[in-house]
Structure 1
Amino acid sequence: MRVLDMEVLVSEVVGRGTVLAGRYRVLSPVVSDLEGASAWEATDQILDRPVRVRILEHGAVAPALDAARRAALVTDARLVRVLDVGTHEGYGYVVSEQLVGQSLARLVAQGPLTADQARAVVGEAASALEIARRRGVHHLALRPSVLHVSPDGRVLLGGLALDAALLGDSGGDARSTTRADAVGLVRLLYAALTGLWPADPRAPQTPGGETLPPAPIVNGAPVAPADLVPGVPNDLDTLCVVTLGPNDDGPHSPGELVRELEPWGEIRTSAAETAALGGPVTAQFPPTGAAAPGGGVPVPSEHDDQDTAPVTVQRQSVRTAFAQQDPPGANRPGTPPPATPRRATGLGAVPSDAETPPTGQPAVAGPGVAQPAAPPPPVVPAVVRRPVAQAAPPPPEPAEEHLDAFGFGDVIGSQDVSTSTRRFDPTALILILVVIAVIVGVVFAFRALFSSLDPSGSSADPDPSPSASAPAVAGEPTPEQPAPEEPVAPVGGPPVIASTTSIDPSDADGEHEEDVAKAYDGDPATFWYTQTYKRDDFAGFKDAVGYVINLTQKTTVSTVTLRTNSNGGNVEIRATDASDPTGGPVLASGPFGPETVFTLDPATETQSLVLWITQLPTAADGAFRLEVTEIALS
């Protein structure tokens, strides 16, 4: 009853026509399979583009918003991008790009996918989650409703980190969360091969709209896909049985699953899906040579579901991809079409048949050429050309294409060669002048260098020795004996920070590595911060987090002043580096505060310090997170 009252209250706050943050206009609701969150189609009124809005009504709203912010840091074309996160009248919202195409649940509702199709769809999803894993972000709520295939054959995976936070799943340590995503991907592979969902018996079934029939369970494990659907390859069947079995076998990360599934082919959708996006989608691989008239989307045939065509590996260079997809003579994207040779007449050179005009001008048909059936182009002022001799012109030479200094092509016919050769090109002259200037500069630099090192240069002074009235001071260098280099004083003013980095024992990428410089940029409004956790012991993910301070030179450091937006926790300060963050004795330790001064005992001459954070403080919003605004050393 309380949930119903909450939904009624939310409908009064957010509904059709509501404008969030003065920018996103809510249009109509869409199906959402997570309790406590509703989904809406909306429009970004500033950029005039469709978006998808998730309204977080109740439950773990604050962790879900934080999870959406972390997901926004992961960039991959296969992951649904998070565009904005905020609150509206007490309710959180997450704005993401619009989901296109049908979900895996609707794809397999008409029948299981073929083995090659399933391998490609799940392989692309695994590749995307491996990129997210390396950024420290996991999904942890994989199900058929979040995996979509767009009409142009792209895989889109939504709900990264956000859905798990809404379900109250905070994961565990790095190994368990990575393994959970790998097993979830294999469950999607099982569903794609069989049309059945192998639910995890140890976890509750996620409620929602798009669900599949449950897979039969024997001895605590789903029945092998090959026993349910004929023609499942042995490697995919074994992968599903081993991973979903009672033992902790199979891939332990999305990257390991990618190696198990590759290679796979390109994903193709049917022509009917491309023409009408609202209809059902059937992902398929076209047989070799089966192309639609005019070079469009391949037309499906009655043999498309047999997977007899050889599969082209999708991972390839851009040059190889264009070489395979474009027929000889076809225009590549981003390049202008080749111009045809010009044809000379008694009135001058005129374009042949239909010469391509410059960008932004309509084509002008040649004399005697029939006009197309399309509406006539706007009138273009005639170009005055220089008349040529009345004698019969020689046959036109093939046009040659050469690039100018900016890389843009130009087509020159035989009648323009003389004009182009008479043009003055200052490039060579400029290069010669630059080379001469460089040579002169190098000569002067060498002369200055060797003149300062020449010991005979002191002969210019006729009497370099001190006067007889000034007695020599003991230890003072004589002209015959050069003065020894004085050692650099260990303390030459306050220590200067050269660079910083973060240490995450569970991930080589550190924690918010992109913001480490904000802790000493002199601006207290910016800060470096750790990830947000539910407990001050990093929720069991790790034992500590480090922040390494590298100085410009070896200097004696006596105090470290930390200004933060957090209170409590604990930090240990050591004179060590990133290679051994816990090496050496603890010079100072204690909790964080708005401004805390740590006195090193004893003052230490070092070039690097490590702030080893063993317990997280409490942030302003009540979560456990450290926010360091400024660091000062003395």
Structure 2
Amino acid sequence: MTQVGEGHETSADADGPVMTFGAPTVGEILAERYQLEEHVNDDSAGRQVWRGVDVILRRPVAVVLRYPGGDSATEMLQAAVDASRVIHPNLVGVYDAIDEATRAYVVREWVDGESLREMVSQEGPLDPARATTIAHAIADALAAVHATGMVHGNVHPGTTLIADDGRVVLADARADSADSTEKDIRSVGGLLYYSLTAHWPHTEVGRSAIPDAVRDGSGNPAAPRQIRAGVPAYLDDLTMDLLDKRVQAPQADALAAELARLDAAADDDYEDVGPLRFTQSNATSEPAKNNSKIIVGVAALVVIAIIGLVFGIRAITSSNSSSTKTTQSTAGGAPSGDSSSATEAPAANPKKIPLTASMVRIVDPPKGDRMDTGQAANTVDNDPDTAWTTQRFKQPNFGTRKPGMGVLINLGTPRNLAEVRVETSSPGATMDIRWGTTDPGDSSAGDGQIMKSYQKLGDDSEGKSDGTNRVFSVFNPDQKYQYVLVFLTQLPPADDGNGGYKVSVNKIEVYGY
């Protein structure tokens, strides 16, 4: 069920109590027309959201109630009146706005489906094509709103609704004097960032109960490509430019056109999408910002060309070179060849990071019996006779009780990583590598939080191994990791002849720099 009305946290209604008494009841009919059927939730401003029915037209409606009405509800009602004037397939229709002094309420279209916030929190980050489609729909809706001279003011994963029929709609306009068309556009960047990472950048687009963006030591948000694999460079650049206030925000119609072009290219894996066209269309309004980016880009190309020429001449004229230099492997190995050049330092070889029993623990998601607690130490003790052996299951995917089990590794401090090596007792286990920013605690609740917040690394990292040894080289070299989860999602048939499915994880090794 969609959580209609959930959006940015706001202080707009902090000047008065919200629904502290006189609460509506199931079956009550408002304005002799709108019958309340179910209390869905309270939105971020404290308003009650109900599912109801228009008894005259016999259609489902959403009813958003606020106590008290009168002057304190003027902003809410005015936003609803403004929204009702814009008809667009990607905007929730507003039917009525009523002030009864003791309480005020807005009646609008009911959307069967779920919010983007619910979708991502339950299923994890979206694939890039789906994220692009959703952002395109919201940009189209904003173009219609901005064309009337109005601002939406509440673009958020909680107000972005995905209907069961696939329609994407924007709900709950809540603009005030602090909002602007630019803020709406930046929030589309926030939707892209959330869709791709399951995080919402608070500083850039507004405070929310959703976890903040992953940030570096300077407080800047990490790009989606630094958080997960498989995000096209073009989509990554577009997302970060929309969030960067140093880069001029495009108009809504220009952004919608750009996303339409990107949406169409998604079927071809975003090939040949070309430059950001809306950047060019806005060049007349702030030429300094856009021209500076072009100048920097051209200068960078010139420098690269000069460096390439110099090293090309050196390679041709060198009489001592006897072998061709190899490139660094995907696992992080150092290049071989001539290392005598004072201008080039050889890449460091990844080294095994010592792991102790205190650095690992079993993650058993909610509904698990947690009977394997303590066995994680057997995977890092360098003893071939010990292992973490799972319980025996009737199904290879752990049944319906949980999505899998794993070993959480806390390296103690953020490290640049090259690979994780896993040795199992038999082939056929399906596993992946995930990462997060904290360990919420060795408990069912903590493990449940890990399942919601940890991100899988690498689109192709999950798959059955051909043998008993598996090497994962899925780490971003520009990012540091402290919490890494080796997660089993499917078990092979038990090798003891007693039926069922289970496996032993004999050894886990982590290599880094």
**TM-score, length-normalised on structure 2?**
0.46
Structure with higher RCO (Cα < 8 A, 6+ apart): 2
The TM-score, its normalising length taken from structure 1, stands at 0.38
Larger Rg: 1
